Structure 1
Amino acid sequence: MKNFPVFVFPVSLEFYLSARHTHKQLLTVYNPYDFSVNFKVLCTAPNKFTVIDPEGLIAPQSCIDIVVRYTQPSVLHCNTTEKFRITMYDRNTQQALGKRDIPTKLLEGEPINPTLESLGDSFHPLSSRVTPQKQAEEHMHVKCNHLHHREHQPVNVVAVAVSICCIAALLLPTQPETVVESQFPEWLHIGSNLKLVFSFVLGLVSMLVLRP
Structure 2
Amino acid sequence: MKNFPVFVFPVSLEFYLNARHTHKQLLTVYNPYDFSVNFKVLCTSPNKFTVIDPEGVIAPQSCIDIVVRYTQPSISHCDTTEKFRITMYDRNTQQALGKRDIPTKLIEGEPSSTNPESLGDSFHPLAARTAPVRPIEEQPRITSSQCHHPAHHREQQPVNVVAVAVSICCIAALLLPTQPEQVPKSQWPEWLHIGSNLKLVFSFVLGLVSMLVLRP
TM-score, with normalisation over the residues of structure 2? 0.56
Residues 115 and 103 of structure 1: CA distance in aligned 2, closer, same or farther (over 3 Å): closer
What's the offset of the Cα at 1:114? 2.2
Amino acid in the other structure paired with 1:63: C
What's the offset of the Cα at 1:32? 0.4
CA distance in 1, matches of 2:199, 2:63: 62
> What is the Cα-based RMSD across aligned positions, in Å?
2.6
**Residue 184 of structure 1: which of 179, 194, 197 is its match?**
197
Amino acid in the other structure paired with 2:6: V
Residues 183 and 99 of structure 1: CA distance in aligned 2, closer, same or farther (over 3 Å): same
1:155-194 to 2 correspondences below 5 Å? 183-185=196-198, 188=201
What's the offset of the Cα at 1:183? 2.2
Q: Deviations 1:9-59 (Å, cap 9, x if unpaired)?
A: 000000000000000000000000000000000000000000000000000
- Number of corresponding residues: 129
What's the offset of the Cα at 1:187? 9.4
Residues 2 and 183 of structure 1: CA distance in aligned 2, closer, same or farther (over 3 Å): same
Who is 1:201 aligned against? Answer: none
Who is 1:49 aligned against? Answer: 49
Q: Deviations 1:59-110 (Å, cap 9, x if unpaired)?
A: 0000000000000000000000000000000011110000000000000000
Question: Is 1:105 matched up with 2:118?
Answer: no
CA distance in 2, matches of 1:115, 1:99: 32
CA distance in 2, matches of 1:7, 1:187: 69
Question: Is 1:28 matched up with 2:28?
Answer: yes
CA distance in 2, matches of 1:63, 1:95: 20
Residues 183 and 70 of structure 1: CA distance in aligned 2, closer, same or farther (over 3 Å): same
CA distance in 1, matches of 2:91, 2:199: 65
Q: Based on CA coordinates, which of the two structures has the bigger radius of gyration?
A: 2
User: Which structure 1 residue ranges, 4+ long, deviate > 3 Å from structure 2?
Assistant: 115-119, 186-189
Structure 2: state its 5+ residue gaps. Answer: 120-149, 151-194, 203-216
Who is 1:8 aligned against? Answer: 8
TM-score, with normalisation over the residues of structure 1? 0.57
Residues 57 and 186 of structure 1: CA distance in aligned 2, closer, same or farther (over 3 Å): farther
CA distance in 1, matches of 2:199, 2:95: 70
What's the offset of the Cα at 1:188? 3.4
Partner SS, residue 11 of structure 2: coil
